[in-house]
Structure 1
Amino acid sequence: MSAALESVLEATMGSLFRSEEMTLCQLFLQSEAAYACVSELGELGLVQFRDLNPDVNAFQRKFVNEVRRCDEMERKLRYLEKEIKKDGIPMLDTGENPEAPQPREMIDLEATFEKLENELREVNQNAEALKRNFLELTELKHILRKTQVFFDEQEHAGLNSTESMTRALISDDNIARQTALGPVQLGYVQPANRRAKYLSCVPCVRVYSFVAGVILRERIPAFERMLWRACRGNVFLRQAEIETPLEDPSTGDQVFKSVFIIFFQGDQLKTRVKKICEGFRATLYPCPEAPADRREMAMGVMTRIEDLNTVLGQTQDHRHRVLVAAAKNIKNWFIKVRKIKAIYHTLNLFNLDVTQKCLIAECWVPVLDIETIQQALRRGTERSGSSVPPILNRMETFEDPPTYNRTNKFTKGFQALIDAYGVASYREMNPAPYTIITFPFLFAVMFGDLGHGMLMFAFAAWMVLKEKPLAAQKTDNEIWNIFFGGRYIIFLMGLFSMYTGLIYNDVFSKSLNLFGSHWEIRNLTSKDVLDNGVLPINPTWDYVGHPYPFGMDPIWQLAENKIIFLNSYKMKISIIFGIIHMLFGVVVGLFNHLYFKRRLNIICEFIPQILFLIFLFFYMTILMFIKWIKYAAPHPINNPDVTTSSFCAPSVLITFINMVLFKSPEEKDTEGTKKNPCDPWMYGGQNGLQMLLVLVALLCIPWMLFAKPFMMMQERKKKHMQVRCKILNTHNTENGDLDGSGAVQAQGQVQGGHKEEEEDMAEVMIHQGIHTIEYVLGSVSHTASYLRLWALSLAHAQLSEVLWNMVLRNGLTQGGGLGGIILWALFAFWATMTVAILVLMEGLSAFLHTLRLHWVEFQSKFYLGQGYSFTPFSFEILLETAQATSEAAD
């Protein structure tokens, strides 16, 4: 009974404080049942398969054709998804998780996707052809309309078409067009004194030919310059903008175009103009010269446009119906195809036995879940209809198993912080359970403010309460995903910050007067108080004598020596918390040594490390408590003894330095004649005890440096002697007596082994030296590193106070209606700066410093972090990864 209880406790507690126990298993599956069994294991997500075909090309594996078919189906689904998003059709996501289809259902899925793709492509091609035809007719409509306006303008002048063209070429308005290159001569230019005579001969001028078309609006200037240069100014161009944008049938973009008409004379110019139009991708359209023909063509164009609109609308309705039907199932189709692909990709990791009827796999599984995995295999066998049950055998291996730490939505964020530094070695103590408490607490020591902590707590509480709807709103905003993923970390950081804010009695740089102050201002008149804005607190006559019930007395907020007092207080508690944190890390390392049965590490590493840390640094914290308990502020009634007053209290830092240097404090005053009434020692026998502690701490350094290599060397010598005796006994037994060759051979074997041992011992000595130096020097630097708790706390409090005094305090001093408006504006600015600087920036700074204290100062005492993560075959993980990849691609 006790053994069973002990095993249960080991299983439950071990999974919490260290990674799961893993085992390597060999799996035998019948070929017809392999697909269904792997499908069940994928839904379970507790098996990590190994690749048994590392030397086989991906294109030469057994199920490569099935994987290609899945890739093709996934391509078709992505095409459908792109078309659905293009039309803005919502894709129904019911949250269902359909099972992986059977292999025979792949044919139906392929046929469905093929039909949808072909139908959609055909509809798109027809729609594109109709849109292109519609575009051409629309452009022709604008050409006929714009050219008709041009001809009408000339006819109002009393000229026919031929006369209007000729008059246009030589008139003052159209004979030259101003461009960026200067006046462009279009047509034959007459001198000014001969122009009137030339105009009188208009009926004798030849009729000019013309072409009309449409070009992109931004190409008009370059098109105009090219016509002038290529045709030597012997053409006339007139253009008009199309006001409404036109849709490009190829891309679907809205483009702006212009109508142009070009007049020229002769076939050579006609060929040149058409080539220029082709080079600028201008579209030319036939334009009749007679007004009646133009009107008739325009009527025909309008009729065809109306018919095209009707057909195009019907085509778009059919396309919309196809996409709406596909949008209802596309999410489930994606899940099914990705599951099928994952199953066949996993089957490619298996080996075939000699009969070609059985698949062999090797996988890492948690020991506690073997029964669950066997049940999943039995379900898969029943689904496939196979009569041969699968076989799961445990294997012995010297390979390091993967690290698997079970997490839930609460512990997942803290485990991610640890894994970011390094994945724990197999069965190594997991720092995550302790980090759940120590991380938000150390953060709160730096961020201690009731108001700011309340803002952080409220934001995290909102994310926790709205967890499900916020998780359903999947977004690719990286900053939001970080905040939401660490919502429980932020929740605890805000909660602990509220607690430390009460301890510091700090709320937006102000104090809470919950219990009333325990200080009284004596020997001062009201005039003294009013004349002095800030007064120093002197415990000799101001202190009542009763300690404040909880946290700091609110009177300190008004004291002139507030920073001096808080500096000493916060600096000491930072050192105390830091040393306790490091001691806890060393103790956690003891559990690693006990679990892995490293007796040598306990004797040669843990014991000297804990003694070194306790006898030096933990002793310093004990001195702080002794000083707090023994010495008090001088008071004529409560503490009349001068020797136990703060005046005679020795400095802990000076005492510690003198202790390390074996130096006794001076007991005489500066003149050396009269003995100082203050006792330099805090308790009796302090000098002898301190010398003993320092000597033991110094002895711990060579203990850490030489004890382990020496003991390892002794153990190896014993093994070496045992091997030598065994070899001698073997030769004596076989030959009756040891001959010379046997002795030489045995000696050679022993010398060869001894050489390898010397090389190993050199590595051990180097490693042990590095480890010792790192620990001894790190104990000093890490202790000083915890002073960041004091520094950031002081900086946060001062920054909060500066923001209050320089911003919001000015608004509170204003009165009247104008003062209300000023206060509203200043409060908005103060609230914005509070959230942006004090909550976000200061919070991020405190978070990073807390992370460093855990990674370097705490985890370096016991954590190796040289493992690799357990990555099981899980449909849930695969689908989340695929979804994130598709969102990133979009």
Structure 2
Amino acid sequence: MSAALESVLEATMGSLFRSEEMTLCQLFLQSEAAYACVSELGELGLVQFRDLNPDVNAFQRKFVNEVRRCDEMERKLRYLEKEIKKDGIPMLDTGENPEAPQPREMIDLEATFEKLENELREVNQNAEALKRNFLELTELKHILRKTQVFFDEQEHAGLNSTESMTRALISDDNIARQTALGPVQLGYVQPANRRAKYLSCVPCVRVYSFVAGVILRERIPAFERMLWRACRGNVFLRQAEIETPLEDPSTGDQVFKSVFIIFFQGDQLKTRVKKICEGFRATLYPCPEAPADRREMAMGVMTRIEDLNTVLGQTQDHRHRVLVAAAKNIKNWFIKVRKIKAIYHTLNLFNLDVTQKCLIAECWVPVLDIETIQQALRRGTERSGSSVPPILNRMETFEDPPTYNRTNKFTKGFQALIDAYGVASYREMNPAPYTIITFPFLFAVMFGDLGHGMLMFAFAAWMVLKEKPLAAQKTDNEIWNIFFGGRYIIFLMGLFSMYTGLIYNDVFSKSLNLFGSHWEIRNLTSKDVLDNGVLPINPTWDYVGHPYPFGMDPIWQLAENKIIFLNSYKMKISIIFGIIHMLFGVVVGLFNHLYFKRRLNIICEFIPQILFLIFLFFYMTILMFIKWIKYAAPHPINNPDVTTSSFCAPSVLITFINMVLFKSPEEKDTEGTKKNPCDPWMYGGQNGLQMLLVLVALLCIPWMLFAKPFMMMQERKKKHMQLNTHNTENGDLDGSGAVQAQGQVQGGHKEEEEDMAEVMIHQGIHTIEYVLGSVSHTASYLRLWALSLAHAQLSEVLWNMVLRNGLTQGGGLGGIILWALFAFWATMTVAILVLMEGLSAFLHTLRLHWVEFQSKFYLGQGYSFTPFSFEILLETAQATSEAAD
């Protein structure tokens, strides 16, 4: 019992720090139970199926007809969804997740969708025909009204239509423009050399014909030019705009049109005019010349329009009822159809046995979930009514299994950061658990401000508290989705930034006086302080001697040498954090070597790497701590010894450079000068120890470069010697066996030389990358100091240049100015110091983890575990449909 508990505990803890243990299984399913079993596995989402028919065309697989039926049903549902959205009807989303229907239920679903689609298409066709008829009657109504105005003008002038047209055509004006309510819009006349002939035979002129119609308003200018050129000016055109837009029955768009009437003489011009109207897609309508006939036609048109309005209303009501009924179930229908389609897609990955009664599948499954998967298979068998239980057998394989890291809503964001660099190799140490702490902490070192961190923390806390309603409001806004997906990352970054802001004692570039200052000005009067404003702090006279309880003393906010002090402090802690972070990465690599039993890597890589990093760079951090502990500001009471004062404190950087160059501090003194009374060494025996550390660190370089290839060669020679001995003992008496063994050894030796060359090249690259990277990566962590300094200075500049000016104003005008300046300051604080600076610090923190930390142990050459899961498939389909909309 205890052994079983220990194994389970080990497996659970192992899955937290490295990927789940996976196994390849072979699954045997009866044909009648396969659908139900795959449905249960889809609900479970813990099985990744392999395609056993990679060379079979998608259209030649067993269940291709069922997939096509699902595609057709999905097309019909998309058509219904489009019509529902067009009418603005809300689609009911109850959040239910219905199970996949049984195969026999597909027929009922197909019949339902077919009925709805046909009914809706019929209603749409009828509505379109009615709208087209309504449009024609409306256009005819406008034609009768507009042309009536024109004929009424001629009657008031005492002329009939024929006489008016004759006079218009023989007038001296080439183009007479007039609207239907006023002047003629456009008149085209005969050429001047033919006017005398027309004037001499005006009494004999035949009656002029005319056509009336409707055309799009934007086509009128081109329509006029074409009539003039094609008819050589022998037509008379009048047009008037229709004020209200008309609905296009095909597209449903609102269009503006104009009424026109064209007068002409002869059948030839009539044919030409009609062709031009047809080319410009103008619609011609019959228009009687007699006023009584026009009046009678207008009354009939109005009656028919009223009847059409009634019928159109009833048609729209029927369409609305059909769509409302469909909107109640369309979400569930989509889920059901997509699940059916996914099941048949998965079944197409299976193989059929020779009896055609059993389906065979291969799948990757987590070892811890095998029992859960077997229970799901049993449920599927019971649902299908099959009497033959499914069989799940574990298989041996040399393939690399997929990488599966269990996540929840908290760890999902951090795991996404790691996977964005590269999916971990199978059972490789997962950096995500460590990143949960180190990522927000390193971010906070660069973004350390209590006020800005509080803003970030409040925004993330709101997203966390309103998680469910915000998740239900699905949106395609990518920026919002990124923020919401990383809400827990932002939450921790804000929380850690508040902590480091307290350490820096920085709140919107100001300090909190929580414990009072531990400095006092002893040699200056109040007048001196008021006159100078900002003074440098001298620890010799001004420091009381008691350390501040937590964080920075607020007096540094007023000091002139604040930047000098903070620069030294932040630079040193950046180096300390960076070296500890890299050391931790090298130690994590040891766990990879131990798990995969790479004894050679431990001896030839881990040990020299850790020694090189500790003996050089970690020793530098130890010097920083020694300097902080041993040396203090000179003080007549607290620190009277000059040798332990800051005056005698050696520079850590210069000491480190001298250490690498094997140079002692005394060499800096020139001949004839008095020696510095200060001790150049921080502790006794420092010079000898430093030389030893540098020598060991230098020896680690050839150790990393040559040890592994040499030991591999020795092992291979040992194996080949054993092989040669075995072949000699078992060789033929005539020596043929010995010759054959010798040939094998020679051939193998050539292959080994190629392999060893690759090993040497790889080891050389790895050694150079590690040695040079240790220097560059250590310097890279100085970005913690640089961005922290930049953030603090930007915050201070914004305060001094904006808000401080508003605080100096008094009176009512000062309140208005302060209100305006505060709004501007708050906007710039959020936009620049929180958003832009936060994004910059986030990207730099991401680089520190990807390059400086993970390069010490993380390969990231695996591939993700992609299980057959209805939840993932539905989320992907939903995101795709929203993107398409």
TM-score range, shorter chain: over 0.9
Cα deviation code 1:240-289 (max 9, x no counterpart): 11011000011111100000111112221111111111110000000000
d(CA) in 1 for partners of 2:192, 2:747: 115
Question: C-alpha displacement at 1:177, in angstroms?
Answer: 3.9
Q: Report if aligned partners of 1:63, 1:344 keep a CA contact under 8 Å in 2.
A: yes
Could you say if the C-alpha distance between residues 699 and 419 of structure 1 is closer, same or farther in structure 2, counting changes exceeding 3 Å?
A: same
Cα deviation code 1:786-807 (max 9, x no counterpart): 0000000000111111111111
Could you say if the C-alpha distance between residues 189 and 120 of structure 1 is closer, same or farther in structure 2, counting changes exceeding 3 Å?
A: closer
2:301 is aligned with 1:306: no
Q: Secondary structure at the match of 1:181?
A: coil
Q: Report if aligned partners of 1:41, 1:376 keep a CA contact under 8 Å in 2.
A: yes
Could you say if the C-alpha distance between residues 751 and 729 of structure 1 is closer, same or farther in structure 2, counting changes exceeding 3 Å?
A: closer
Could you say if the C-alpha distance between residues 854 and 182 of structure 1 is closer, same or farther in structure 2, counting changes exceeding 3 Å?
A: farther
Question: C-alpha displacement at 1:529, in angstroms?
Answer: 1.2
Could you say if the C-alpha distance between residues 432 and 181 of structure 1 is closer, same or farther in structure 2, counting changes exceeding 3 Å?
A: farther
The match for 1:124 is 124
Q: Report if aligned partners of 1:186, 1:235 keep a CA contact under 8 Å in 2.
A: no
Q: Report if aligned partners of 1:579, 1:618 keep a CA contact under 8 Å in 2.
A: yes
d(CA) in 2 for partners of 1:866, 1:736: 45
Question: C-alpha displacement at 1:676, in angstroms?
Answer: 1.1
Cα deviation code 1:670-726 (max 9, x no counterpart): 56342211110000000000000000101111111111111111111111111xxxx
Could you say if the C-alpha distance between residues 595 and 182 of structure 1 is closer, same or farther in structure 2, counting changes exceeding 3 Å?
A: farther
Could you say if the C-alpha distance between residues 847 and 730 of structure 1 is closer, same or farther in structure 2, counting changes exceeding 3 Å?
A: closer
d(CA) in 2 for partners of 1:428, 1:162: 98
Aligned positions of 1:404-483 closer than 5 A: 404-483=404-483
Q: Report if aligned partners of 1:184, 1:233 keep a CA contact under 8 Å in 2.
A: no
Question: C-alpha displacement at 1:534, in angstroms?
Answer: 1.2
Could you say if the C-alpha distance between residues 525 and 731 of structure 1 is closer, same or farther in structure 2, counting changes exceeding 3 Å?
A: closer
Could you say if the C-alpha distance between residues 729 and 857 of structure 1 is closer, same or farther in structure 2, counting changes exceeding 3 Å?
A: closer
Could you say if the C-alpha distance between residues 595 and 175 of structure 1 is closer, same or farther in structure 2, counting changes exceeding 3 Å?
A: closer
Q: Report if aligned partners of 1:520, 1:543 keep a CA contact under 8 Å in 2.
A: yes
d(CA) in 2 for partners of 1:847, 1:153: 78
Q: Report if aligned partners of 1:668, 1:675 keep a CA contact under 8 Å in 2.
A: no
d(CA) in 2 for partners of 1:879, 1:236: 65
The match for 2:846 is 851
Question: C-alpha displacement at 1:478, in angstroms?
Answer: 0.6
d(CA) in 1 for partners of 2:759, 2:179: 86
Question: C-alpha displacement at 1:179, in angstroms?
Answer: 14
2:768 is aligned with 1:784: no
Q: Report if aligned partners of 2:452, 2:834 keep a CA contact under 8 Å in 1.
A: yes
| More displaced 10-residue stretch of structure 1: 154-163 or 448-457 | 154-163
Could you say if the C-alpha distance between residues 180 and 660 of structure 1 is closer, same or farther in structure 2, counting changes exceeding 3 Å?
A: farther
d(CA) in 2 for partners of 1:293, 1:585: 97
The equivalent position to 1:817 in structure 2, one of 797, 812, 816, is 812
Q: Report if aligned partners of 1:449, 1:507 keep a CA contact under 8 Å in 2.
A: yes
Aligned positions of 1:755-834 closer than 5 A: 755-834=750-829
2:833 is aligned with 1:838: yes
d(CA) in 1 for partners of 2:479, 2:760: 47
Cα deviation code 1:282-301 (max 9, x no counterpart): 00000000000000000000
Count of matched residue pairs: 885
Question: C-alpha displacement at 1:163, in angstroms?
Answer: 3.2
Q: Secondary structure at the match of 1:127?
A: helix
Cα deviation code 1:824-868 (max 9, x no counterpart): 111111111111111111111000000000000000000000000
Question: C-alpha displacement at 1:512, in angstroms?
Answer: 0.7
Could you say if the C-alpha distance between residues 206 and 462 of structure 1 is closer, same or farther in structure 2, counting changes exceeding 3 Å?
A: same
The equivalent position to 2:749 in structure 1, one of 737, 742, 754, is 754
Aligned positions of 1:147-296 closer than 5 A: 147-169=147-169, 176-177=176-177, 205-296=205-296
Cα deviation code 1:442-497 (max 9, x no counterpart): 00000001111111101100100000000001111111110000000000000000
Q: Secondary structure at the match of 2:15?
A: helix
Q: Report if aligned partners of 1:445, 1:500 keep a CA contact under 8 Å in 2.
A: yes
Question: C-alpha displacement at 1:533, in angstroms?
Answer: 2.1
Q: Secondary structure at the match of 2:643?
A: coil
Q: Report if aligned partners of 1:168, 1:174 keep a CA contact under 8 Å in 2.
A: no
Q: Report if aligned partners of 2:213, 2:259 keep a CA contact under 8 Å in 1.
A: yes
Could you say if the C-alpha distance between residues 411 and 875 of structure 1 is closer, same or farther in structure 2, counting changes exceeding 3 Å?
A: same
Q: Report if aligned partners of 1:185, 1:234 keep a CA contact under 8 Å in 2.
A: no
Could you say if the C-alpha distance between residues 292 and 26 of structure 1 is closer, same or farther in structure 2, counting changes exceeding 3 Å?
A: same
Could you say if the C-alpha distance between residues 313 and 587 of structure 1 is closer, same or farther in structure 2, counting changes exceeding 3 Å?
A: same
Could you say if the C-alpha distance between residues 482 and 845 of structure 1 is closer, same or farther in structure 2, counting changes exceeding 3 Å?
A: same
The match for 1:497 is 497
Question: C-alpha displacement at 1:164, in angstroms?
Answer: 3.4
Q: Secondary structure at the match of 1:506?
A: coil
d(CA) in 2 for partners of 1:133, 1:168: 35
The match for 1:725 is none
Cα deviation code 1:88-127 (max 9, x no counterpart): 1111110000000000000000111111111111111111
Question: C-alpha displacement at 1:337, in angstroms?
Answer: 0.4
Question: C-alpha displacement at 1:6, in angstroms?
Answer: 2.8
d(CA) in 1 for partners of 2:180, 2:213: 23
Q: Report if aligned partners of 2:519, 2:543 keep a CA contact under 8 Å in 1.
A: yes
Cα deviation code 1:425-444 (max 9, x no counterpart): 00000000000000000000
Could you say if the C-alpha distance between residues 186 and 99 of structure 1 is closer, same or farther in structure 2, counting changes exceeding 3 Å?
A: closer
Question: C-alpha displacement at 1:157, in angstroms?
Answer: 2.6
| More displaced 10-residue stretch of structure 1: 280-289 or 515-524 | 515-524
Could you say if the C-alpha distance between residues 172 and 737 of structure 1 is closer, same or farther in structure 2, counting changes exceeding 3 Å?
A: closer
The match for 2:734 is 739
Q: Secondary structure at the match of 1:666?
A: helix
Question: C-alpha displacement at 1:819, in angstroms?
Answer: 1.3
Instruction: Provide TM-score, normalisation by structure 2.
Output: 0.97
Question: C-alpha displacement at 1:821, in angstroms?
Answer: 1.2
For the aligned residue pairs, the C-alpha RMSD in angstroms reads 2.6
Q: Report if aligned partners of 1:519, 1:555 keep a CA contact under 8 Å in 2.
A: yes
Question: C-alpha displacement at 1:325, in angstroms?
Answer: 0.6
Cα deviation code 1:618-663 (max 9, x no counterpart): 0000000000000011111111111111111000000000000000
d(CA) in 2 for partners of 1:431, 1:188: 85
The match for 2:873 is 878
Q: Secondary structure at the match of 1:392?
A: strand
Q: Report if aligned partners of 1:186, 1:233 keep a CA contact under 8 Å in 2.
A: no
Question: C-alpha displacement at 1:668, in angstroms?
Answer: 7.6
Question: C-alpha displacement at 1:889, in angstroms?
Answer: 0.9
d(CA) in 2 for partners of 1:485, 1:673: 67
d(CA) in 2 for partners of 1:231, 1:589: 90
Could you say if the C-alpha distance between residues 579 and 198 of structure 1 is closer, same or farther in structure 2, counting changes exceeding 3 Å?
A: same
d(CA) in 1 for partners of 2:312, 2:743: 94
Q: Report if aligned partners of 1:169, 1:175 keep a CA contact under 8 Å in 2.
A: no
Cα deviation code 1:304-343 (max 9, x no counterpart): 0001111111111111111111111110000000000000
d(CA) in 1 for partners of 2:740, 2:193: 127
Question: C-alpha displacement at 1:176, in angstroms?
Answer: 2.9
Question: C-alpha displacement at 1:814, in angstroms?
Answer: 1.2
d(CA) in 1 for partners of 2:811, 2:195: 82
Could you say if the C-alpha distance between residues 593 and 495 of structure 1 is closer, same or farther in structure 2, counting changes exceeding 3 Å?
A: same
Question: C-alpha displacement at 1:203, in angstroms?
Answer: 6.0
Cα deviation code 1:393-450 (max 9, x no counterpart): 0011111000000000000000000000000000000000000000000000000011
| More displaced 10-residue stretch of structure 1: 867-876 or 226-235 | 226-235
Aligned positions of 1:644-793 closer than 5 A: 644-666=644-666, 672-722=672-722, 738-793=733-788
Q: Report if aligned partners of 2:120, 2:319 keep a CA contact under 8 Å in 1.
A: yes
Instruction: Provide TM-score, normalisation by structure 1.
Output: 0.96
The match for 1:524 is 524
The match for 1:337 is 337
Could you say if the C-alpha distance between residues 730 and 353 of structure 1 is closer, same or farther in structure 2, counting changes exceeding 3 Å?
A: farther
Could you say if the C-alpha distance between residues 190 and 577 of structure 1 is closer, same or farther in structure 2, counting changes exceeding 3 Å?
A: closer
d(CA) in 2 for partners of 1:627, 1:180: 99
Q: Secondary structure at the match of 2:617?
A: helix
d(CA) in 2 for partners of 1:610, 1:406: 31
| More displaced 10-residue stretch of structure 1: 582-591 or 827-836 | 827-836
Could you say if the C-alpha distance between residues 632 and 83 of structure 1 is closer, same or farther in structure 2, counting changes exceeding 3 Å?
A: same
d(CA) in 1 for partners of 2:346, 2:721: 51
Question: C-alpha displacement at 1:201, in angstroms?
Answer: 9.5
Question: C-alpha displacement at 1:781, in angstroms?
Answer: 0.3
Could you say if the C-alpha distance between residues 474 and 739 of structure 1 is closer, same or farther in structure 2, counting changes exceeding 3 Å?
A: same
d(CA) in 1 for partners of 2:145, 2:189: 30
Q: Report if aligned partners of 1:339, 1:875 keep a CA contact under 8 Å in 2.
A: yes
